[in-house]
Amino acid sequence: MRFPGQAARERLRRLSLRHLDGAEGFSLGVDEESAGTRALLDLSLPTFYSLDRGNLLVVDELDASLHPFLSAQLIRLFQDPETNPRGAQLVFTSHDPSLLGRVQGVEVLHRDQIWFTQKGDSGETELFPLSEFKPRKDENRERRYLAGRYGAVPVVNDELFIAALAAREEPADVPQNSEAQRM
């Protein structure tokens, strides 16, 4: 898929966003915005490009730095025929379990739109649909996922994790009394 060129990206970098502060307001450049605002802006060009043309958009970690309400809203853009009249498709990965349920009272994903992945002992990844578990319509998918009922959750051996942390070495260029260590 070909996205808008470098010129469009440069215009986005020069963009400043106006924030209201009582009667007064102030502007911030994109580089001064939060990681979430920048992530939303980064997704905006490919999202609108895909919706305008009816293309497939693939996003790894859709929820990275985004509030669940914003992730859900991006998904809704692809599900609403009014904002997606050309049938664009969104395929994404996420670690946000709230997307399995309702956000602001609205179901984000339908049961047949949810697929899970699980890493095997040899490092291979298995892909399987939620439908294999025959979920009921009123089932709390978010809670069942977090309880491990569908699999697809990381299994961490506490002893190995602690041993790995204990074995790490401090980088030579990081001062021992840095501000980050006091937090």
pLDDT in tens, 72-128: 999 999 999 999 999 999 999 999 999 999 998 899 999 999 999 999 889 899 999
Average pLDDT, the chain: 83
pLDDT over 80 at 179, yes or no: no
Neighbours of 62 (CB within 10 A): 22
Output the CA torsion sign for 64, 65, 68, 70.
negative
Share of the chain above pLDDT 70, in %: 77
pLDDT at 1 (0 to 100): 41
| Residue 3 near residue 45 (C-beta atoms within 8 A) | yes
pLDDT over 70 at 172, yes or no: no
> By mean pLDDT, which of 109-118, 153-162, 167-176 is the weakest?
167-176
Rounded to an integer, what distance in angstroms lies between the CA atom of residue 134 and that of residue 129? Answer: 10
* Confidence bin at 182 (pLDDT 50/70/90): very low
The larger pLDDT score, comparing residue 37 to residue 53, is at: 53
Average pLDDT over residues 146-153: 93
Both tokens of residue 67? 């509030």
Average pLDDT over residues 154-158: 82
pLDDT in tens, 40-64: 888 988 999 999 999 999 999 999 9
3-state SS, one letter per residue, for the chain: CCCCCHHHHHHHHHCEEEEEECCEEEEEEHHHCCHHHHHHHHHHHHHHHHHHHCCEEEECCCCCCCCHHHHHHHHHHHHCCCCCCCCCEEEECCCCHHHHCEECCEECCCHHHCEEEEECCCCCEEEEEHHHHCCCCCCCHHHHHHCCCCCCCCCCCHHHHHHHHHHCCCCCCCCCCCHHHHC
